[in-house]
Amino acid sequence: MAEAKSQRVAEVINWWLQEEIISSDVGSNAILSEYSDRRADLYKDFDDPTNVMAAKAISHNNRFTFFAENLNDTSSWLDDHGASKFIFAALMAVSGGWRKQCIIEAVSAEDYTYRRHNLGPTGIDVMSAVTAELDGVKLTDFTYDEIVGNAITKTLGAKDRIIELDQRIYNGAIDSHESALVVAMQETQQIGISLAVAHIAVAATLRGGDYEKVPILEPKTITEAAVIYPFIEQAS
């Protein structure tokens, strides 16, 4: 993978995450931006049915189990809507990690909004994260089965690790371990980007290595999102 390709993948991921921040402030996901209520979630048990933030994380994470079971199905990858959902789920893990990092670090609702909209769209260096996955890698160096196998391994690993990291931030842990919780949410973002790159690689491979044909769902709630082709539509 040439440096330019890594740059393009990072640009698309950055664009998508920034747009998702804007869209998630309205509609059904707006509840996740209610700072005082979400801050209160940090003092609840992870399994508390009133813990909105944890419930959202569990719902998103459960998708990884379903996806891991279907990643071997080539027809799902060839279908643009199917492939776009795989990539979407990985990027939502990044967005969720960044949202929680902002909630943990913010001292007020205004501070939360400023951090989420102006200091992101992640708490890590997206270009470095993408480069770590793609530097020196050419899709043609690997068989399709190897590329899919990598995606399945990363998906299963993400499912277990992300939920483990998420469980750490509740029960008032913020009062004594704030910096450690920030690091945990940054790891979640790193995992999500790694997974998104792996899924993008599968979709590109089945489209003749052409990234411009890679589909991703729009950066909004999944029930409202249509398939888009950001490597073309968001061209530099």
Give the pLDDT confidence of 141-190 residue by residue, as tens digits: 788 899 899 999 999 999 999 999 999 999 999 999 999 999 999 999 99
Given this model, what pLDDT does residue 178 score?
94
* pLDDT of 105: 97
The pLDDT tens digits of the residues spanning 95-119 come to 999 999 999 999 999 999 999 999 9
Residue 229, token pair as written in the block: 């082709």
Place 194 in a pLDDT band, splitting at 50, 70 and 90: very high
Q: What is the DSSP string of 13-61?
A: HHHHHHHHHHHTTSGGGGGGG-HHHHHHHTTS-TT-TT-HHHHHHHHHH
Report the chain's mean pLDDT, rounded to a whole number: 91
| C-beta of residue 59 within 8 angstroms of C-beta of residue 222 | no
CA distance 110 to 95: 19
CB atoms near residue 148 (< 10 Å): 22
Q: Return the minimum-mean-pLDDT range out of 90-94, 116-120, 134-138, 158-162.
A: 134-138
Q: Quote the pLDDT of residue 4.
A: 60
Query: Are 66 and 198 a contacting pair, CB within 8 Å?
Result: no
For residues 180 and 71, what is the distance between their CA atoms, to the nearest angstrom?
A: 33
For the chain, domain boundaries: 3-233
Q: How far apart are the first and last CA of the chain?
A: 18
